[in-house]
Structure 1
Amino acid sequence: MTSGLVIVDKPAEWTSHDVVARMRRLAGTRKVGHAGTLDPMATGVLVVGVGKATRLLGHLALTEKTYRATIRLGQSTNTDDAEGEITATASAAAVTDDALDAAVKALTGEIMQVPPQVSAIKVNGRRAYKMARKGEDVELAARPVTVSEFTVTDVRRDGELGELVDVDAVITCSSGTYIRALARDLGAALGTGGHLTALRRTRVGPYGLELARTLDQLAEHCEILPIGDAVAAAFPRREVTAEQARLVAHGGRLPAAGLGPGPVGVFAPDGTLLALVEERGGAARPLAVFTGE
């Protein structure tokens, strides 16, 4: 079995788990997982790990992501997206470009974000979405997230009096950022309410749509990015001597090489991936070792 990553262009109405189930059949193994869940409504880049590469997924899930989103101003929903029920309406006809720009700017950079009530976050051991669907009040704490880009690309007015406004945007953000919550908060800031009507993820870390394949394409040819190439694309690369390679292969530590606080890929003299390590306190300690399996 080849270990590596599959960059899937997830179709609408599929859950991330549905994609994993399909990839298990296509790859011929149950050892398949994904990095960074996409809601069923969303499409685009879903990074799937096969074999040993499943051990990379937790680290890849923490990387920056880019989306193309459409936000509808003038309507709020109970899920903050188009899959929920409309809970309030307020005309967005008076929203000016300047007001929109100011509200977008306020949601850019390092911000505190309250996740949607219908989310998988646990509250006292229970999933928030299960509590919300039972009509229970769910209080979620605001969390720090980083929105490094929030660029409006188009504004479209709909309805007889222009009471609905659709805003297309490109958003680049840190792990844990909810685009649905950005839509909600943009609408709240403008006094109109807002929700997400379309979402397409175009990038997870270094993996963009240019590498992605549809499930139909993968059914014809299951294209797996080798694990060494996947690590080299996503993390700094460190090449070691044969002696150091033997040490790393057995879970030993190396002196730090000053390659940063995040994961570093360690490669043997012949180019074989050995491990992911993390540099702390002058030493590089293994996060995951890929040899001897």
Structure 2
Amino acid sequence: MAGDGANKLLALSGLFPVYKPKGPTSAQVVAQLKGKLLKEAGLKEYVKKRKQTLKIGHGGTLDSSASGVLVIGIGDGTKMLGTMLTGSKKYSTEGELGKATDTLDASGTVTEEKPYDHVTKEDLDNVLKSFVGDIMQVPPLFSALKRDGERLSSLLRKGVTVEAKPARPVTVYSLSVRDFQPPLFTLNVECSGGFYVRSLVSDVGKALKTCASVKDLVRTKQGPFTIEDHALKEEDWTIGRISDAVREFAPLLPTPPGNKKLKTDNSDKIIPSPE
């Protein structure tokens, strides 16, 4: 018979954000979180006929070399994760002028180096104007996008030749320079789902007649959740704290017509169904 901890865990349904550190993939963070919760509840993982002990997932991949807000869906909350994929996000990124890599960030192999001494902050400010609004963007080859069910990044690491995905429409709501100390520069970005900051930094470098790559990337906000006010660090990954978070953060989520009531422990908060 399941104990109180197990009952409380399995009754959870909703969304909450966690802090993802640099290093692990988003999937590894979810697996670690799931393992901790199941262990606390005294439950073992099983998968049978597509049913799992605990349904849990994330709402938008964050690069392993990046840190920041990762939105988690638990129970029936996993059905709402699509809203996080398409919703707005904010990032702080540090770029490095004069250096290009195959992954478009510091985790990759340097493929090109160019002079950058001619670039001024005024040049950077002016170039950024062309990247605000509705734009077309080519995703990085090293990404979570898939071909025939396998990630492009996995295919590339196996030595398989991969063609770039076609440019696709994305939206940049705001873009500004926070710091400029060549070769380093820091940008604040607010964008739509499907946007790649690595592609932005690379494209900005080309527009400045040099090259550039991401040195550091932090997702500071996803949907209504911010890194400062909402993201749970690993020490808070407990059944009690997550139960409180699901209940506490539910009012931050929109409630469009046709919403579905998702029950949390001792809570009747209304959380929207996926569109």
TM class by shorter-chain length?
Answer: 0.7 to 0.9
Give the number of equivalent residue pairs.
Answer: 246
Q: Give the residue type in structure 1 aligned to 2:255.
A: P
Matched residue of 1:169: which SS? strand
Please name the residue that 1:181 is paired with.
199
Equivalent residue for 2:272?
276
> What amino acid does structure 1 have at the position aligned with 2:171?
T
Question: What is the deviation of 1:7?
Answer: 1.5
Say what the alpha-carbon RMSD is for the aligned residues.
2.6
**8 A Cα contact 2:69 2:220, kept in partner:** yes
CA offsets per residue over residues 152-207 of structure 1, 9 Å max, x none? 000112xxxxxxx1111110000000000001101111121111110111111101
Whether 1:150 aligns to 2:146 is no
What is the CA distance between 1:42 and its match in structure 2? 0.7
Work out the CA distance in 2 between the residues paired with 1:203 and 1:225. 20
Which digits, 9 at most, give the CA deviation of each residue in 1:196-229, with x for residues without a partner? 1101111111011111121123259643356565
Q: Structure 2 CA distance, aligned partners of 1:65 and 1:222?
A: 24
Q: Percent identity?
A: 33
The Cα offsets for residues 5-59 of structure 1, whole Å up to 9 and x where unpaired, read as 3311111101111111111123225311111111111111011112121111122
Corresponding residue to 2:209 among 161, 184, 191: 191
Q: Determine which of 136, 141, 152 is the counterpart of 2:166.
A: 141
Distance in 1, matches of 2:94 and 2:60, equals: 20
- 1:236-262 deviation digits (Å, cap 9, x = unpaired): 366xxxxxxxxxxxxxxx7xxxxxxxx
Larger radius of gyration: 1
Tell me whether 1:114 sits opposite 2:138 in the alignment. yes
| TM-score, length-scaled by structure 1 | 0.76
Instruction: Name the structure 1 match of 2:230.
Output: 211
Q: 1:237 to 1:220 in 2, by over 3 A?
A: closer
TM-score with structure 2 setting the length: 0.80
Name the counterpart of 1:94: 118
Match of 2:56 in 1: 32
Is 1:71 the counterpart of 2:86? The answer is no
Given that 1:4 and 1:225 are in contact with CA atoms closer than 8 Å, whether structure 2 keeps it comes out as no
Alignment partners' CA distance in 2, 1:69 and 1:275: 32
What 5-or-longer segments of structure 1 have no aligned partner? 158-164, 239-253, 255-263, 278-286, 289-293
> 2:30 aligned to 11, 20, 25, which one?
20
Q: Which residue of 2 aligns with 1:232?
A: 251
Equivalence for 2:41: none
Q: Distance in 1 between matches of 2:102 and 2:226?
A: 31
Residue 200 of structure 1: aligned partner? 218
CA deviation digits over 1:109-159, x for unaligned, max 9?
Answer: 1110000011122345553223433151413100000011111000112xx
Q: Which runs of 5+ in 2 are unaligned?
A: 1-8, 39-52
Secondary structure in structure 2 of the residue aligned to 1:211: coil
| C-alpha contact (below 8 Å) 1:27/1:50 kept by paired residues | no
Cα distance, 1:18–1:265 mapped onto 2, change above 3 Å: same
- Give, as a single letter, the amino acid of the residue that structure 1 aligns with 2:136: M
2:5 corresponds in structure 1 to none
Matched, 1:168 2:186: yes
* Inter-CA distance 47–125: structure 2 relative to 1 (3 Å threshold): closer
- Whole-angstrom distance in 2 between the partners of 1:122 and 1:82: 22
Letter in 2 for 1:51: G
Corresponding residue SS for 1:201: strand
Q: 1:107 & 1:68 partners in 2: Cα distance?
A: 16
